[in-house]
Amino acid sequence: MPYFDAASSAPLHPVARQALQAALDEGWADPARLYREGRRARLLLDAAREAAAESVGCRPDELVFTPSGTRAIHSGISGVLAGRRRVGRHLVASAVEHSSVLHAGAALRGEGGTMTEVPVDRSGAVSAEAYASALREDTALACLQSANHEVGTEQPVTQVAEACRAAGVPLLVDAAQSLGWGPVDGAWSLLVASAHKWGGPAGVGLLAVRKGVRFAPQGPADERESGRAAGFENIPAIVAAAASLRAVRTEAADEAVRLRALVDRIRTRVPELVPDVEVVGDPERRLPHLVTFSCLYVDGETVLHELDRAGFSVSSGSSCTSSTLTPSHVLRAMGVLSEGNVRVSLPPGTAGEDVDRFLEVLPGVVAGVRERLGAPASVVSSPAADSLVVDAVGKRCPIPVIELAKVIGDVPVGGTVTVLSDDEAARLDIPAWCEMRGQEYVGEEPAERGVAYVVRRVS
């Protein structure tokens, strides 16, 4: 069964498995003890730290291991905010950061601090100039991912790092998605990553803090990991994480070329095979193994279930796959279609035949879901009124967009269709539909029931 969700968690690398098994036999003792078992465990821990630091591009004494990438982010942010409290309580981050960064920002706001979210363009990238303009005298920390976890777009880390350095603001880089493909360039101050993203075991995160960064670890003092990650080190997992990171780096150059070609095939063929599809993310500045596309008129959760039944494990940022029915904050910030969103992220070793079969299966899956939902095969063109109102209150994605598409041809060019909806996804998906179909999104208006989204027919 092809597994196409490496961006969530990559399969355990063979080197990680071998190192884990060996370390289970040799690295079980307390590395803080002076007897031989403790010394042996300490040697394994130190060797893993040196290997990981070499891959990250920092000194071994600048890097600590944490229980997860999320813990690394929270520790990094809280430590710098505390260490630079006299500077201010202002945090800057892109609008498409991992949710752990945004959750840390929400906690900061709850404590009286402030946070600025730098907007992104339709490809998901920030402008280095816009990011620099968000920095203030009271900015304690800036955060920027090296590459986006949902659409694969790479961020201008080098340019943003220079702007932060000029402003005297440390930059924390979330390299969870990119570290397995290569080191992060630029004068960053802190870097975090998570081992299960590159084929290491889950439960190991990395936090690198450059010398000179004012950092005050939060929580009760602990003697482990320089006081920055409390608790007994999981040495077998750490050893496996460091070993697999070195292994995937050795393979990265060749595998990136191979997987990029497979992803290019998906990016090109999906819009040819499936009508009304938007491929999102930067077509060039992106991770080599990841592609995301959104399909009009389909329920994202149903598409994922149908692909799973066909033997393909994929992921989605669609609002229809969450219990809150709220679109992915990444897709929302980009202003792209959220309904029917499919993220394909290929693990190393993916066969071209599996990608070919995915492209064979996908059109039938999408067509079947559209048929069950009553999506229009084409737009009807028989104007009957200058304006129409579609009541889609109580109906969830993608029904409001489907109802809009069914009647847009019933008004003349210049006429309007008003869609009433109480689904938060409509705020994103109706403008995205207009962008895809060449119609004009007029805007939203208050309504007695839900929100009124007004669309003007252009063609």
Q: Which helix (H) or strand (E) holds 278?
A: strand 277-280
C-alpha–C-alpha distance, residues 108 and 315, integer Å = 30
User: Contact 427/329 with Cβ under 8 angstroms?
Assistant: no
User: Measured between alpha carbons, how far is 451 from 453 in angstroms, rounded to an integer?
Assistant: 6
Contact, 343 vs 7, CB < 8 A? yes
User: Torsions phi, psi of 348, nearest 5?
Assistant: -55, 140
Q: Calculate the CA dihedral of residues 53, 56, 61, 64 and round it to 10 degrees.
A: -100
Is 434 catalytic? The answer is no
The size of the chain, in residues, is 459
Catalytic position from the list 58, 164, 295, 320: 320
The angle at the Cα of 36, spanning 31 to 42, to the nearest 5 degrees, equals 25
**Alpha helix positions (H), 57-197:** 69-83, 99-110, 128-134, 157-167
Tell me whether residue 236 is exposed, middle or buried, using C-beta atoms within 10 angstroms of its C-beta: 0 to 12, 13 to 18, 19 or more.
buried
Say which DSSP state 204 is in.
-
DSSP 8-state symbol, 211: T
Q: What is the separation of C-alpha 68 from the centre of its chain, rounded to a whole number of angstroms?
A: 16
State the catalytic residues: 320
